[in-house]
Structure 1
Amino acid sequence: MATIELPALQGRDPLGFLASLGVLALLTRTGNAPRLSFAQTAPHYAQITAPALESADDIADVLRGVVDSMGEDQVIPGLSNWPISPIAAGTTSDPSRVLRSELPAVLASVRAESGEAGVEWLLAVLNQFHSDAKGRAALTPFMAPTGRQSIHTFFAKPLSLVRENPACLREALVSWKRVEGCTGENFDAAALRGAAESSDGKPGSFGVPGATWLATMGLRLTRQGSHIGWGGESRPYTTLWRYRGGQLMLWPLWTPRLNAEGVRTMLELPLYLRGDGTRDEPLMVSETIKLTEGAGSETEIQYDPSLIHASGRVSLRDYGIHAVGGARRSGAAKSAGPLTAVPVTFGSGSARSRDAAPSVAPPST
């Protein structure tokens, strides 16, 4: 079975990493039994293995088939009239941003219209356990709406650019080409250019359409929920996101070839930080985790017993993790801003296993 290298999907770049999750999710949906890993040497590009695929061109052809199969009313493969409806003309309110108290009724409506897949997608972007300052179901930190961006347009705009130029799917895998007018949906700080950087002296957007669309599809492998913090308080939980000097996206890069369920598990493994990202305290992720007795059921991690060392520690390297990527939102007027990569060292040391994600099982290889 060939290992297909995808040099444009660099593991430590937030857009590249999320796009690689999108590739895995879509190839899984089409029955290609893919597995994802990342090269051990920088820039840690994504690698795909799949029995019937031999090249990046083969992958691009499958992805194009997914796009071609989608109806004009679809922004998620296989789902119609999702999430609820676009923003109506002449209004600025996103109808999908419902009060948390209204979410159960909305989920019932989505279930009737789109089945469990529609519900799972909606719960990937709206948190049913936590509210924002306006009482609405909290939005996933993978989204940072700007202007009239809605949940619908977040998926629809990059999809429309892919439909206009399907060749951008191959470009997303092997060599990025930036396109004027592609906003990048705030996944990509490089997509936004100020007036001083533009040839015409005006600010603009120069994103990567194919990679942006794939990143939106990668959210299928994430989830939202709630967990217990150090002080016993309930906190929102989103796959890959932590709180250290503000919200921080943190993700592992691994060597084992993992299927979609294995990757879901890998993404839930706790990555414990030292430092706050300042010059004096750079971010470092501990290689080992010291298990704590008596951890509550909501925070306990179910580790593979064979990987627990005599010292009572679990080594993340035993799970095949060889590097860690990180990103923060840079902040912008009326928005959290685009994702910007930050340096993270995968160092030695240990940390306690509280304030972690809910229970996970060992990755499936």
Structure 2
Amino acid sequence: MLYICTSEKATSLNNVARDIYRVALKLNIPSRVKSGMIQFYDLDRERDQALYVMCADPLLTTGWFLAVRDCHKFGRKAIMYATVEGRLKRMYVKDWMREVNIVAVSNYVREKLVEAGLNVIGVVHHGIDILEVIKARGMMKLGLEYYSKYGLSPDRHVIMLTVSNPQPRKGLAWLDKIAGEVEGRDASIKFLVITEEKGLRYFGNHRNLIVSTDFGRLPREMILSIIANAHVMVVPSLAEGFHLPTLEAMALGTPVVHGQLPPIMEFSTGWVVPATEILFFDQHLGLPSGIEFEQHLYDVKEFADVLMHVVDLYRCKREEIVDYRRRSWERALEYSIYNKYPKLIRYLVDAPESIQINVEPYDFNSLPQVPPPTIPPGNVERKEFEDLGVVIPHG
């Protein structure tokens, strides 16, 4: 039995764990997704293996490191499939942690873990389930109904979507400033942010911004349909270890705009806002962390300029959006879970290097309509969000 262990509190890690499970089943490997850790004494030495999908924070996830180490110590097969969003604090990296075999989710993550002296045995990037993407394209009505609930329609609005938890490194405070920059330029552009209730505190009063607290509550096919119906996927993050929503948007043909973050740059075909400064931040939701988050700062006005440029392409040079969709689909195929996760499973179980699946390309020319620009109303009074120890953009 292959046990795929992760935390039920992390939506992205849960999605990754379930994708690995789906691939294992196609490989005819008996598997099970488990919320939480499995200990070495619950594994049969000959028949069981454990794959721990977790952030490599030497302070907050010490127990996960210990579970994998104990598996090694007592002769069980186990690896940690790890992400990290900055450099590890060496004061928390214990000598015994170096006994853990780690597969990194990106070259960036490998670099940060090796710098801390941890044992990285390989890199396997996250993947996208191409079959789920195809299914989501056939369920576009779901996303349209979700937008309608908030008074939005791709026919009447240019929809800019962000799907994010409220961790400070996700840049929601910066997105508030970006929305403010766009607000005065084109009233047809609307931002929809899907986050948790804690994320509400980052935002002021904007006529062009709607915040939903459905993050982590929607079925995955619904999220994919929502992404597929957006005009632009906005990624305001300052620090990431990979960023799966960028890959999902690429596979669905939705243009992505993001900052110059090294792990995203490894696979993205999207529009990039250059980093102006790198700043390290060492808290997780206001609490101590074993990671110094490597935040790549950008100019919010320049980010807004890039968003407006993509909207102009929709209106004036749609062939460039079509070309983007084609290139993104080809790139997403390379990052199919059926190409990526067999390589991960092979660290524990004999398996083929990939699984062949038959897919047909969709119509890259079937772009959503974009309304003409609308003169925005006058300025509105804005309330300031409280300072949570996050990095606040200038201006």
Give the TM-score normalised by the residue count of structure 1: 0.26
Larger radius of gyration: 2
Structure (1 or 2) with the greater helix fraction: 2
Give the TM-score normalised by the residue count of structure 2: 0.24
